[in-house]
C-alpha cells in the first residue's frame, strides 16, 4: 500500500495527474470507500488499499473524464474489464485516465465474517496486499478470532475471471489466484428446478428488495444519464407502488439493460443491503449469450462485436427457450 | 357439470405486430374471413425491433395471460435487419422469464408475412388454445390493477 501511495504522490506532485481516484479509510477498517484525492497530505493520511477495497472505481471515471487534467485511477484486474467496456461505449476518455493496475488477492465481505459467528468486530488484519492472504485475524470485543481468508471472500472472487489486467499504464502489487468454483453452477442449479421451485426461489429472494436502487447506481454498465427507473411515467419508479410483480420487473429490466455489456464484476450483489444474489440474473444472460451466440466476455476485447447489437442470419429462434427449458 | 358462460376463462392476449408484414397479415386474415379468437388484442408497432422487453413485461403486469410478437420473416425486414435484433432480444427475455418460473408457453414469437393470412389465424388459434390450457396468469400480474 505504501508503494502505491508513494507512486500516487509522485505522479500528483510532478503534475502528471490532477487527482487520484482510490479508496479512503472508513470509520472501521472493513469499510473503506471510494474517494478522490487532490493533494499529497490527504493521500498520506487517508488512502488505503486492502482486502476490503472491493469497490469498482471504473464508473467514477465517467465523471472524472469530464474534469480538467488526468485522473490516476487504481483498477483491480476485474475492474479493468468494466473500464474497457466503458471505453468501448465511449463513456470514458482514455486520455484522461492514468491507470495503475493494482494487484488483487481476493476481496472480502464483512458479512461473511459475521456469518461465521464472529461478533463485535473491531478490526481485521491479514488483508493487506503485502500479506499472504491465507488467514485473517479478527480483533473483536471478545478477543482475537481467526478465519481462513477464502471463507470471508466475496462470491465473485471465488469465480474470478483471472488476475490479468486488460488495460493499464503501470502495474503495482502482486496478485493471487482465487478461483475455486464454476460461475454458472448456481445458474444451472436453478435452471434444473421446476417452474414452481424457480418461482418460489426468486420470490423469496426478490421479496427482500427495498428498491433502494443501489444495484443500479453502482453498476459500471448501468450509466445512462436518464434512467427508465427514474421516469415518473412508469410505476416501477415509485417505490410505494412496489408489489410482487414490480420487484421482478425491476430486476429483469435492470439485468436486461446490461445484458451483453455486463462484465460480471459482481458489484450489484456486493452492494445489495438485503443480500440478494443479483448476479444470478446477469449470469443467466451471460450464460445464454455464451451458449446461443458464442462465448463473449464483455470488456475483454474492445473490438469484439457485442452480442445484442449484432446478429447472424442463422440465429436460433426464440422457440429454443421451450426446447431448452427443463421445467 | 354444465359450463357457465359467464365464468368461462377468456384469456387476455396481446399481440405485437409489425406494421409491414404481420399487421398486413392480420388484415389479410380479416378480409379473407379467416376466424381467430377475439381474445387477441393487436398492437401495431413500426417494426418488431420496436418491441422493448419492457412492453412484454408491462403487458403481463397489466393482466395479459399471454404475449405474442409477430414480425417479418428473417431477411424480409422492411428496415433490413430489425427483426434480427428483435430475435436475439426476445430469445434472451423469454429465457429469463422461464428462469424466474413463468411458463414458457405464455410467450411466443412468430414470423408472419403480409401474404400469410392463413398462418396468422392458425398461429393465433394455436396460441389462444395454449393459453387456455395454461389458464389464468397469476404469476406476473399486477394485483392492484385486477378488477
pLDDT in tens, A77-122: 999 999 999 999 999 999 999 999 999 999 999 999 999 999 899 9
CB B99, CB A325: distance < 8 Å = no
Which residues does chain B have within 8 Å of residue A320's beta carbon, measured at their own beta carbons? 91
Cα nearest neighbour of A242 on chain B: B142
**What is the C-alpha to C-alpha distance for residues B124 and B13, in angstroms, rounded to an integer?**
9
Where are chain B's structural domains? 9-136
Q: Is A252 on the interface with B (CB under 8 A)?
A: yes
Residue A274 carries which DSSP code? T
pLDDT at B61 over 50: yes
Give the pLDDT confidence score for residue B115 in this predicted structure.
95
Which residues does chain A have within 8 Å of residue B143's beta carbon, measured at their own beta carbons? 243-245
* Beta-carbon separation of B96 and A309 below 8 A: no
Which residues does chain A have within 8 Å of residue B140's beta carbon, measured at their own beta carbons? 245, 248
* Beta-carbon separation of A252 and B84 below 8 A: no
Domain B9-136 CATH assignment equals 3.40.50? yes
Torsion sign over Cα A157, A163, A169, A174: positive
Residues A183-186: contacts with CB under 8 Å, at least 24 apart: A183/A159, A183/A264, A183/A283, A184/A283, A184/A287, A186/A277, A186/A280, A186/A283
**Residue-wise pLDDT tens digits, A235-266:** 665 565 556 666 678 889 899 999 999 999 99
Give the pLDDT confidence score for residue A205 in this predicted structure.
86
Give the pLDDT confidence score for residue B3 in this predicted structure.
55
Which residues does chain A have within 8 Å of residue B89's beta carbon, measured at their own beta carbons? 308
Cα nearest neighbour of B63 on chain A: A245
ipTM of the complex: 0.90
Q: Could you read off the pLDDT tens digit of each residue along chain A, which spans 327 residues?
A: 788 999 999 999 999 999 999 999 988 888 999 999 999 999 999 999 999 999 999 999 999 999 999 999 999 999 999 999 999 999 999 999 999 999 999 999 999 999 999 989 998 988 888 888 889 999 999 999 999 999 999 999 999 999 999 999 999 988 989 999 999 999 999 999 998 899 888 888 888 888 888 999 999 999 888 888 887 776 665 565 556 666 678 889 899 999 999 999 999 999 999 999 999 999 999 999 999 999 999 999 999 999 999 999 999 999 999 888 876
Cα nearest neighbour of B91 on chain A: A318
The rounded percent of chain B whose pLDDT value lies above 70 is 90
- Residues contacting A192, CB < 8 A, separation 6+: A326
pLDDT at B143 over 60: no
Which residues does chain A have within 8 Å of residue B93's beta carbon, measured at their own beta carbons? 252, 256
* Beta-carbon separation of A293 and B139 below 8 A: no
CB B132, CB B9: distance < 8 Å = yes
Q: Of A229, A312, A316, A318, which to mutate for an interface test with B (greatest number of B Cβ within 10 Å)?
A: A318
Give the pLDDT confidence score for residue B147 in this predicted structure.
35
Of A105, A148, A151, A141, nearest to A121 by C-alpha is A141
Residues β-bridged to residue B17: B44, B70
**What is the C-alpha to C-alpha distance for residues A256 and B93, in angstroms, rounded to an integer?**
8
The three three-digit cell numbers of residue A39, written as one number: 493533494
Residue B39 carries which DSSP code? T
Interface of A with B in 179-198 (CB under 8 A): 190-191, 195-198
* Beta-carbon separation of A318 and B94 below 8 A: yes
CB pairs under 8 A between A and B: 117
Q: Is A164 on the interface with B (CB under 8 A)?
A: no
* Beta-carbon separation of A308 and B61 below 8 A: no
**What is the C-alpha to C-alpha distance for residues B17 and B124, in angstroms, rounded to an integer?**
12
Q: How far is B84 from chain A (nearest CA, A)?
A: 6
pTM of the model: 0.91
Cα nearest neighbour of A254 on chain B: B54
Cα nearest neighbour of A191 on chain B: B99
Of the pLDDT bands very low, low, confident and very high (cuts 50, 70, 90), residue B103 is: confident
Show the 3-state SS of A14-49. CCCCCEEEEEECCCCCCCCEEEEECCHHHHHHHEEC
As a residue count, chain A comes to 327
Of A1, A21, A264, nearest to A127 by C-alpha is A1
Q: Is B57 on the interface with A (CB under 8 A)?
A: yes
Which residues does chain B have within 8 Å of residue A202's beta carbon, measured at their own beta carbons? 100-101
Amino acid at each position: 500500500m505504501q508503494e502505491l501511495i508513494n507512486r500516487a504522490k509522485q505522479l500528483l506532485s510532478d503534475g502528471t495527474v490532477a487527482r487520484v481516484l482510490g479508496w479512503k479509510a472508513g470509520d472501521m477498517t472493513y469499510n473503506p470507500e471510494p474517494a478522490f484525492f487532490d493533494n499529497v497530505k490527504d493521500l498520506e493520511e487517508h488512502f488505503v488499499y486492502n482486502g476490503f477495497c472491493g469497490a469498482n472505481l471504473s464508473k467514477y471515471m465517467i465523471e472524472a473524464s469530464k474534469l480538467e487534467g488526468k485522473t490516476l485511477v487504481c483498477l483491480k484486474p476485474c475492474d479493468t474489464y468494466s473500464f474497457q467496456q466503458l471505453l468501448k461505449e465511449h463513456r470514458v476518455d482514455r486520455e484522461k485516465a492514468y491507470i495503475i493496475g493494482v494487484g488483487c488477492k481476493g476481496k472480502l465481505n464483512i458479512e461473511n465474517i459475521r456469518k461465521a459467528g464472529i461478533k463485535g468486530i473491531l478490526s481485521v488484519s491479514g488483508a493487506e496486499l503485502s500479506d499472504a492472504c491465507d488467514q485473517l485475524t479478527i480483533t473483536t470485543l471478545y478477543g482475537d478470532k481467526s478465519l481462513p481468508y477464502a471463507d470471508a471472500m466475496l462470491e465473485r472472487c471465488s469465480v474470478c475471471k483471472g488476475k490479468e489486467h486488460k488495460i493499464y499504464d503501470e502495474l503495482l502489487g502482486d496478485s493471487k489466484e482465487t478461483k475455486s468454483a464454476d460461475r454458472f453452477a448456481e445458474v444451472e442449479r436453478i435452471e434444473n428446478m421446476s417452474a414452481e421451485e424457480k418461482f418460489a426461489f426468486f420470490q423469496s429472494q426478490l421479496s427482500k428488495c427495498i428498491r433502494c436502487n443501489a444495484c443500479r447506481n453502482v453498476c459500471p454498465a448501468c450509466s445512462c444519464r436518464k434512467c427508465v427507473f427514474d421516469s415518473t411515467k412508469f410505476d416501477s419508479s415509485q417505490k410505494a407502488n412496489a408489489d410482487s410483480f414490480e420487484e421482478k420487473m425491476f430486476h429483469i429490466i435492470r439485468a436486461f439493460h446490461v445484458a451483453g455489456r455486463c462484465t460480471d464484476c459482481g458489484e450489484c450483489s456486493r452492494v445489495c443491503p438485503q443480500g440478494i444474489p443479483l448476479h444470478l440474473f446477469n449470469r443467466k444472460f451471460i450464460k445464454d449469450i455464451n451458449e446461443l451466440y458464442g462465448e463473449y466476455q464483455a470488456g475483454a476485447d474492445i473490438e469484439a462485436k457485442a452480442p445484442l447489437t449484432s446478429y447472424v442470419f442463422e440465429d436460433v429462434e426464440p422457440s429454443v427457450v421451450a426446447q431448452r427449458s427443463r421445467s | 357439470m354444465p359450463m357457465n358462460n359467464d365464468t368461462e376463462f377468456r384469456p387476455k392476449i396481446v399481440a405485437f405486430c409489425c406494421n409491414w408484414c404481420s399487421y398486413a397479415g392480420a388484415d389479410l386474415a380479416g378480409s379473407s374471413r379467416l376466424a381467430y379468437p377475439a381474445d387477441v388484442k393487436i398492437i401495431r408497432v413500426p417494426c418488431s425491433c420496436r418491441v422493448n422487453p419492457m412492453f412484454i413485461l408491462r403487458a403481463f403486469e397489466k393482466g395479459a395471460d399471454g404475449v405474442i410478437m409477430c414480425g417479418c420473416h428473417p431477411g424480409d425486414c422492411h428496415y433490413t435487419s430489425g427483426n434480427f435484433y428483435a430475435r436475439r432480444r426476445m430469445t434472451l427475455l423469454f429465457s429469463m422469464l422461464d428462469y424466474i418460473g413463468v411458463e414458457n408457453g405464455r410467450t411466443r414469437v412468430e414470423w408472419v408475412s403480409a401474404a400469410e393470412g392463413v398462418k396468422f389465424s392458425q398461429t393465433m388459434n394455436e396460441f389462444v388454445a395454449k393459453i387456455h390450457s395454461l389458464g389464468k396468469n397469476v404469476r406476473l400480474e399486477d394485483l392492484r390493477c385486477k378488477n
